[in-house]
Amino acid sequence: MLAYTIKGLGGLRSRTRPLYIASIATRRPSRSRCYATQLNLPGIDAKWQRIWKRQALYASMKGEDSGITPKPAKDNFYVLPMFPYPSGNLHLGHLRVYTVADVLARFHRLQGRDVLFPMGWDAFGLPAENAAIERGIDPATWTKQNITRMKQQLDVMNGSFDWSRELATCDPKFYKHTQKIFLLLLKNGLVSQKEAQVNWDPVDKTVLANEQVDAEGRSWRSGAKIELRNLKQWFFHITKLQDALLRELKTLGENSAWPEKVLTMQKNWLGRSQSAYYKFQITSPSGYEATVPIFTTRPETIFAAQFIALSPHSSVVAELAKGDAGLRSFAERAKDLPHTSTEGYEITNVTAVSPLRSVLGAFAVSSAPLRVYVAPYVRGDYETGAIMGVPAHDARDFAFWKQHCPNEPIKYAVSPTEDGSIESLNGQPFLDSGYMTSLVGKYQGLPSEQTAKLAADLIKNKTGMAEAIVKWKLRDWLISRQRYWGTPIPIIHCASCGPVPVPENQLPVTLPKVDHHWADGKSGNPLESATEWINTKCPKCHGPAKRDTDTMDTFVDSSWYYMRFADPENPRQPISRAALESRLPVDLYIGGVEHAILHLLYARFIFKVVTDLLYPKESESVFRASREPFKRLITQGMVHGKTYSDPLTGRFLKPDEVDLSNPSDPKVVATGHSAAISYEKMSKSKHNGVDPTAFIAKYGADATRAHMLFQAPVSDVVNWDEDKIAGITRWLNRLHAFVQTISSMSEGPQRRECRPGEAYFSQPPQGSSIAATQWAADVVVWRTAQETITAVTNAYDKVNSLNTTVSLLMSFTNRVLENPEASNGIKAGAVSILLRMMAPIAPAFTEECWQMLHPTSNSIFDLEDGKAVWPIPDGTMQYLKEAGIKCAVQVNGKLRCVVDIAGRPQGLVEHTTAFKDWLTEQILGSEDARAKLTGDGKDIRNARRVIAVKGGKTVNYVL
């Protein structure tokens, strides 16, 4: 703690006071005009990108095989955005996810952590192969060109990626370990080859994934009608881990670590259900009898069954059709009807009896026989080819029943409320879990999920006509692809020995050159005709053998790449134990919600099996407690573009078809009509795409980053509006000019930065009004600094509220600029805090300002003596209480009254919703204000916007 002298204007105040200081400016800022250097944000970006590259500032410590000893795990932090497919062009979705990821990586780096923030390329896949066929070039050439172009684009985003760990899944050094993982799973009984029905494109001559087939059953690329074929395929047995995959979702849901939406999607894909088989008896007056087994995933709804429906392919239907010409005709026609059809044929001479009939004493349900229909919506290839129709609890059954028995009442077994009420359903089906109604007698009020097993067990014990079982929707992971551009499956087929794994010392099995295939524009899999590559020797008997010509699904590559980033140079294993326990799991994983199911599920599966098989559980480290690859998952929303369309035709308009001379009223050039404006998913057909590289070249990367974050919470859709970046650029220009002013008034080589302690603010000045005015301004500025530190740190930690971070930093800037009476040292100290907190969002801009303010210091991202530089509250808030103020209250811009309000409570941050609510409550505490602001059908509590400035000295309610 040092002593220094603060001098007021003309020497009116002179007082020695103790302070915690770096160094203090003793001159007040001149009120003369400041001729600030013109701010060139793109130029600042280019300058600092060169410096960062030269300094290699962002390389993190590597694993044991690099020769560098990694830091203890507690000091490490792993931020990972989902790596991109190298299509050749970044879009605004890329810009958003990598901006969010980079901001968080920089934030945690400033907090003193050794941050791992790598980047790589999801480089295998069908699009590259199709592009190769269209262009007549090797897909490897096309992919590498795209990687080079996209890496250049990423470099202009001011990212802090550790490029020393860069990987591409098409690199043999990477897919060597993909093949090792395949063989590891094979050795441990988690891989097999078996017959499977697949989607076959007869034009491209390849298997297609389900998502590559449109709703009409056509190939997404060739347009050909796909064929269902049975082929030998390779599978990973993910179903062996289904219990663990479901159970540990509970851990991922704690403290909102994963979004609830994603957890629900994972649960639904796993699809564990308490199911049952029931046996219904079908009889006819002619003496026909049959037992029809029916499978259901909702056993508790049997109480509300109102009919039985049979597939046209059912053997029961075939038997009954022998004596029923109408049934014969319908069954034949129904075989070609779509599964969405509600057509049906009632077999009037037969009825069905529910297995509940034998235990009816316990229930209020009727024992009347059930009608029997033949319906095309019942699939012959699913379970038993028969269903119990429950219109109240199945949408398809409801639609069918309404068509055939529109006047019949619907019976409800399950209600959304505990009292069994169904009035709120308005006669519509209730498809969710709930509570049992009075229809079920002694089970009334029980949760439906609990009743499911009770009902099936009761019927089984009484009659033997039911069986409670647990069913899963999850199926084993089919990884085979009959394509070239993927990881070759490391299996050799020998006529004597069968399928034989490729020995480890022969890995990787690399893709052969097949240039003629691309040059000729051929379809199909060129590996099948690469005879020199296919023909080899059996590793066991050394006789003639052939390589497997399938390649792996690209989901296999992305299921483990996050492990390789932690140990990229390890030649022996995908990841070492040391790197695994030091770096994994990923602390923050960031990407689109479109990967919420398959990618995340496969990554969880691979992480569990690989870590357990490579490094058995004798090591009880922290990460094994959860056995999950990603601690926290952030799913960012999409970016939608401003879209113009012709109001008469609905046609999307190209940029040159819109007159934007009046941006608030765009016109259709051809007609002069006002164009319709909407925000849509960006696409070429809607002419609403934005080139992020061009945008950055125009406005600078930092302004673009701040603009992207400011527009919406991270998980929400961003409606991209270029015009709104003006507010961001104004903010940066004002701050830059102010830093220049502060810097030019400082003395000596060091910037005069004040770090006041308790002693400074615990001793208000006496006497001079000028000294008192300066001290009051110091209190306002420093209180804002302390409050903003807490609020901004919380916003960065929460991630989703990064938009409020920008808002808080803008407000902090305004408060500093609104108090020119504050001492230079306090202002320099506050601006230094502001720049530290801005640095993750606007790294080049803050580096530039930091250099002006602290010309002899290092990068703003450098640690000080190995310690974190992120600002923390200094304990002075107890002396910085806000005095009462007069608040000028406006409604729609017109002054309505002036109210005396109390000082703002400690910890209540200005410009937050909580602050505005508190301010409104204070205002309405005045009887006079209440009369003026809540009458005539208008109430400020219902305002659409509340704009408060200068700590609440002025507030405008927009009604």
Write the DSSP string, 380-448.
Answer: TTSTTSEEEE-TTT-HHHHHHHHHH-TTSPPP-SEESSTT---GGGTT----S--EE-GGGGGGTTSBH
Average of per-residue pLDDT across 918-945: 87
SS3 235: strand
Q: Where are the beta strands (DSSP E) in 419-503?
A: 435-436, 466-471, 477-478, 480-481, 491-494, 498-501
Residue 948 to residue 950: CA distance in whole angstroms = 7
Which residues does residue 281 pair with via DSSP β-bridges, in sequence order? 291, 353
Lowest mean pLDDT among 128-137, 203-212, 284-293, 525-534: 203-212
The pLDDT assigned to 218 comes to 83
SS3 712: coil
pLDDT tens-digit map of 417-429: 998 889 889 999 9
pLDDT tens-digit map of 895-930: 989 998 887 777 777 778 888 888 998 899 888 888
Task: Pick the closest to residue 487 from 903, 130, 740, 172 (CA basis).
Answer: 172
Residue 719 to residue 712: CA distance in whole angstroms = 8
* Helix, strand counts (H, E) of the chain: 28, 37
Measure Cα distances from 106 to 29, 101, 473, 836, 838 in Å.
33, 9, 41, 10, 10
Instruction: Give, in degrees to the nearest 5, the angle at Cα 920 between 916 and 924.
Output: 175
Kind and range of the H or E run holding 621: none
Task: Pick the closest to residue 646 from 676, 690, 687, 604 (CA basis).
Answer: 676
More confidently predicted of 366 and 344 = 344
DSSP letter for each residue of 753-778: -B---HHHHTS---S-HHHHHHHHHH
- How many CA atoms, within 13 angstroms, populate the side-chain half-sphere of residue 841? 29
Can you say whether residue 952 is alpha, beta or left, with left for phi > 0 and alpha for psi between -120 and 50 degrees?
left
pLDDT band at 228 (very low <50, low <70, confident <90, very high): confident
The pLDDT assigned to 38 comes to 65
pLDDT band at 17 (very low <50, low <70, confident <90, very high): very low
Q: Where are the beta strands (DSSP E) in 483-611?
A: 491-494, 498-501, 535-537, 544-547, 551-552, 586-592
- Hey, what CATH topology would domain 884-958 get? Ubiquitin-like (UB roll) (3.10.20)
Which residue, chain included where needed, has tokens 């998502």? 211
pLDDT tens-digit map of 629-682: 999 999 999 999 889 998 888 899 998 899 988 888 999 998 999 999 999 888
The single-letter code of the amino acid at 221 is R
Residue 5 to residue 15: CA distance in whole angstroms = 6
Residue 909 to residue 789: CA distance in whole angstroms = 10
The ranges of the chain annotated as CATH 1.10.730.10 are 718-879
Which residue, chain included where needed, has tokens 């709703």? 215
Q: Where are the beta strands (DSSP E) in 25-96?
A: 76-81
Residue 347: is its pLDDT beyond 50?
Answer: yes
pLDDT band at 757 (very low <50, low <70, confident <90, very high): low
pLDDT > 90: what percent of the chain? 53
The pLDDT assigned to 749 comes to 37
- How many CA atoms, within 13 angstroms, populate the side-chain half-sphere of residue 20? 10
State the Rg of the chain over Cα.
35
pLDDT band at 30 (very low <50, low <70, confident <90, very high): very low
pLDDT band at 621 (very low <50, low <70, confident <90, very high): very low
The ranges of the chain annotated as CATH 3.90.740.10 are 272-470
More confidently predicted of 289 and 360 = 289
Instruction: Give, in degrees to the nearest 5, the angle at Cα 361 between 359 and 366.
Output: 85
The pLDDT assigned to 34 comes to 41
Residue 357 to residue 607: CA distance in whole angstroms = 50
Average of per-residue pLDDT across 472-485: 91
Average of per-residue pLDDT across 237-262: 93
**What's the mean pLDDT when you consider all of the chain?**
86
The pLDDT assigned to 699 comes to 95
Q: Where are the beta strands (DSSP E) in 173-272?
A: 191-201, 206-208, 227-236
With beta carbons less than 8 A apart as the criterion, state whether 303 and 440 touch: yes
Which residues does residue 480 pair with via DSSP β-bridges, in sequence order? 552
For the domain 718-879, what is the CATH code? 1.10.730.10
The single-letter code of the amino acid at 11 is G
Task: Pick the closest to residue 459 from 365, 352, 358 (CA basis).
Answer: 358
Q: How far apart are the two ends of the chain, measured CA to CA in Å?
A: 52
**pTM, to two decimals:** 0.82
Lowest mean pLDDT among 114-118, 257-261, 931-935: 931-935
The ranges of the chain annotated as CATH 3.10.20.590 are 884-958
The single-letter code of the amino acid at 854 is H
Residue 471: is its pLDDT beyond 50?
Answer: yes
With beta carbons less than 8 A apart as the criterion, state whether 19 and 754 touch: yes
Task: Pick the closest to residue 85 from 172, 150, 157, 136 (CA basis).
Answer: 150
The pLDDT assigned to 957 comes to 93
Task: Give 272-470's CATH code, choosing from 3.40.190.10, 3.90.740.10, 1.10.760.10, 3.40.50.300.
Answer: 3.90.740.10
